[in-house]
Structure 1
Amino acid sequence: MKAVVLTGLNEPLGIHEVNKPSLEPGEALVQIKAAALNRRDYWISIGKYAGIKYPTILGSDGAGVVAEVADDADQSWVGKEVPINPGHEWGNNPNFQGKEFNILGLPEDGTLAEYVKVKTEYLHIKPSHLTFEQAAALPLAGLTAYRALFVKGRAKAGDKVLIVGAGAGTGTFAVQFAVAAGCQVFVTSGSGEKIERARHLGAAAGVNYKAQDWAEELQHMAVGFDVIIDSALGKDFAKLPDLCNPGARIIFFGATAGAIPELNPRTLFAKQIQLLGTMMGSPDDFKAMLQLVSNHQIIPVVDEVFSLADTQKAVDKMGISSQFGKLVISI
């Protein structure tokens, strides 16, 4: 089968002929119709990720058709259209992942291939209103955004929600999910065009974080926020507690702009603000995310679709963060 293989540090991604995976008990072989990139694929490709091995097939997100199963008891899956939950071996505690937790696409070979093998427990029926390209965009970023908003952030109808850095996959899903839940959504971005696109998704307003007074502008617009989702962190994170209503939750992940800076503890305890880290989500979170998408007929935002042969171009585009929504690979 054809697969996009990372063969070494700073080596370009190329298409290679590799053996089709052989199945073990409890596993299924999915013929991938579309895959999608995440920031982790970019970091792995440039050698800035833990546990990198060569060669490896990247790709955590994928959707396709179940081609084979190992067990007779799983025959009903054959022919089903499915997205794949990329978070494997979560563990028994819904509050955090266990020591065996891993993400499809490293260390296990991922979805940037004609076929991928996964345990049947990670298969889910594709929401019927989605194409394969749209369904492939959902898994990792959609799961992360869902858990951040609703499990950690406890967002509910009427809450004022701030999405820092709208435009990335997680930020775009966070906007769509929060709007669907009846929240009043505000965003920040370094691009006026991305702010306008977020408004088309239902955001009430947004500000450019490159402006010196961006926090003051947000304060004027919204007065205060009940939930803030931040995947960037960095020095501007210090301004977020001042934007919070009493009892607000600040949920963070990713840290693309750096570490959390020094914070004023008096603001945190006086307002009883909660700082909550999150990562991916549990199997139950994944099911709930798909149910939300189905119930509200949410369509993931796909920025651009690339061919398998142009995967390196897609990774390069992710490296400069010019996309709004997800970068998808058609296979």
Structure 2
Amino acid sequence: MISGSRMSSRAMRAVYVRKFGAVDQMKVEENVAVPKLEDKQVLVKLYASGVNPVDTYIRSGQYGKLPTIPYVPGKDGAGLVDAVGSGATRFKVGDRVFCSQTVRYGTLAEFTAMDEDHVFPLADSLDFAQGAAIGIPYFTAYKALLLKGRAKKGDRVLVHGASGSVGLAAVQLAKAYGMTVVGTAGTAEGLELVSSQGADAVYNHRDSSYMDKLKKNPETKFDVILEMLSNVNLGHDLELMKPKGRTIIIGCRGPVTINPRDMMGPETEVIGCALFSSTPEEWNLIGERVAEGISSGWVKPVINKIYDLHKAGEAHHDVIHSTGAKGKLVVRVQE
């Protein structure tokens, strides 16, 4: 039995990818069937969809698990619970929620069906655009910094690419947990934004001398480094870690050459981090902690730009090709 609106006679608007490739192969289609709800799922009426780089990797076929074409893109979203399956017990119709990690149905649509474990309460203090900006960025930041990086109060943390959505989430998280944070960004606006989120120091990673400045004082090395572009920075990171330090690889766009000797004496670690490889136990823990962060106030998503649904392809382009990240890109699904 399903509690809430009946889906059989309803239709929706959704963005469909008809085949992998260029932006013009992704378009809005009308009268799409509302997803069928299974027992332990929640049907969410979406108002906003978060845009993540992984959305573009899937579209281009450069991802481990690819959907069957055609499909609706999008992994993060926010809206209202519209119906619940008979086995779903955590939510009721009308609840404000954010969701992440869709299995079959993407969030660039007016409705999505989501496993209950991937739906979380959204406090009134955040709007739907901010809710759509929580999932992948904040869950990734938490997993990288605390589960993989084992960071603790008093640690020094370096966040490369701190003006992006994951980077800003990491800065907010690290400061909430009592760490000293250094962040990098590529524009004056980005540097100002990172500083406004609590970073203790900021560096422009487009300044050719910024690595030398970071390495200049050996007493200011880092316990944990969050690396968004390891193909560029990893070799330097090995020189920036304290003894027993950890560099967590969150992003990479190509191969890199390093000298492992830089890791031997100080016994440092380089650790890969992929949110989609999380165990159910990790996922539930991260969800609980991020939900607590919303209540306590440290989860404060920064929205860079909001696109209309028919400009979702433009948002996909911009998330990869922007000249300087300044927060999250979000698509408005409906008013």
Specify which of 138, 157, 160 is matched with residue 161 of structure 1: 157
TM superposition shift of 1:246: 1.1
Distance verdict in 2 for CA 1:264–1:304, change over 3 Å: same
What is the match of residue 304 of structure 2?
A: 303
Letter paired with 1:21: P
Q: In the alignment, what sits opposite 2:174?
A: 178
CA distance in 2, matches of 1:81, 1:250: 36
Name the stretch that deviates more: 288-297 or 162-171. 288-297
Taking structure 1 as reference, are residues 16 and 122 closer, same or farther at Cα in structure 2, changes over 3 Å only? same
Report the Cα distance in structure 1 between the residues aligned to 2:87 and 2:143, rounded to whole angstroms.
Answer: 34
Please provide the CA RMSD for this pair.
Answer: 1.9
Deviation at 1:118, TM superposition (A): 1.2
Asked if 1:232 is matched to 2:229, the reply is yes
Query: 2:40 touches 2:87 (CA, 8 Å); kept in 1?
Result: no
CA distance in 1, matches of 2:113, 2:262: 49
Could you tell me how far apart the structure 2 residues matched to 1:289 and 1:79 are?
Answer: 21
Unaligned runs of at least 5 residues, structure 2: 1-11
Match of 2:72 among 37, 57, 68: 57
Q: Aligned pair in 2 of structure 1 residues 223, 72: CA closer, same or farther (>3 Å)?
A: closer
Identify the residue that residue 8 of structure 2 maps to in structure 1.
Answer: none
- Contact 2:88 2:116 (C-alpha < 8 Å) held by counterparts: no
Aligned to 2:135: 139
The AA in structure 2 aligned to 1:219 is K
Q: What letter matches 1:62 in structure 2?
A: G
Deviation at 1:73? 6.1
Structure 2: how far apart are the matches of 1:76 and 1:156?
33
Superposed counterparts of 1:80-159, under 5 Å:
80-86=95-101, 104=102, 108-159=104-155
Q: Which residue of 2 aligns with 1:92?
A: none
User: Quick one: distance in 1 between partners of 2:53 and 2:88?
Assistant: 36
**Residues 157 and 223, structure 2, Cα contact 8 Å, conserved in 1:** yes
Which amino acid counterpart does residue 251 of structure 1 have in structure 2? I
Q: 1:327 aligned to 2:322?
A: no
Q: Which moved more, 1:65-74 or 1:181-190?
A: 65-74
Secondary structure at 1:79's aligned position in 2? coil
Does 2:16 match 1:5?
yes
Aligned mates of 1:19, 1:112 — CA distance in 2: 14
Post-superposition shift, 1:197?
1.4
Q: Which amino acid is the alignment partner of residue 312 of structure 1?
A: G
SS at match of 2:191: helix
| Structure 1 range deviating more: 110-119 or 22-31 | 22-31
Query: Do the aligned residues in 2 keep the contact of 1:317 with 1:323 (CA within 8 Å)?
Result: no
- List, as ranges, runs of 4+ consecutive aligned residues in structure 1 with deviation greater than 4 Å: none
For 1:72 and 1:211, locate their aligned partners in 2 and report how far apart those are by CA, in whole Å. Answer: 55
In the alignment, structure 1 segments of 5+ residues that lack a partner are: 87-103
SS class of match (1:267) = helix
Mapped partners of 1:126, 1:75: distance in 2: 13
TM normalised by structure 1 equals: 0.88
Relative distance call for 1:185 and 1:59 in structure 2 (3 A) is same
Does structure 2 conserve the Cα–Cα contact (< 8 Å) formed by 1:180 and 1:296? no
**1:8-33: per-residue Cα shift (whole Å, max 9, x none)?**
13352211121111112212211011
1:144-171 alpha-carbon deviations (Å, 9 max, x no partner): 0111011111222221110011222111
Q: Which amino acid aligns with 2:304?
A: D
Partner residue in 2 for 1:278: 273
- Pairs within 5 Å for 1:5-24: 5-11=16-22, 12=24, 13-17=26-30, 18-24=32-38
Distance 1:126 1:158 in 2: 30
- What's the counterpart of residue 259 of structure 2? 264
Q: Does residue 35 in structure 1 map to residue 26 in structure 2?
A: no
Separation in structure 1 between the aligned mates of residue 197 and residue 91 of structure 2, nearest angstrom: 37
Q: Secondary structure at the match of 2:120?
A: coil
Superposition TM-score, scaled by structure 2 size: 0.87
Counting matched residue pairs gives 310
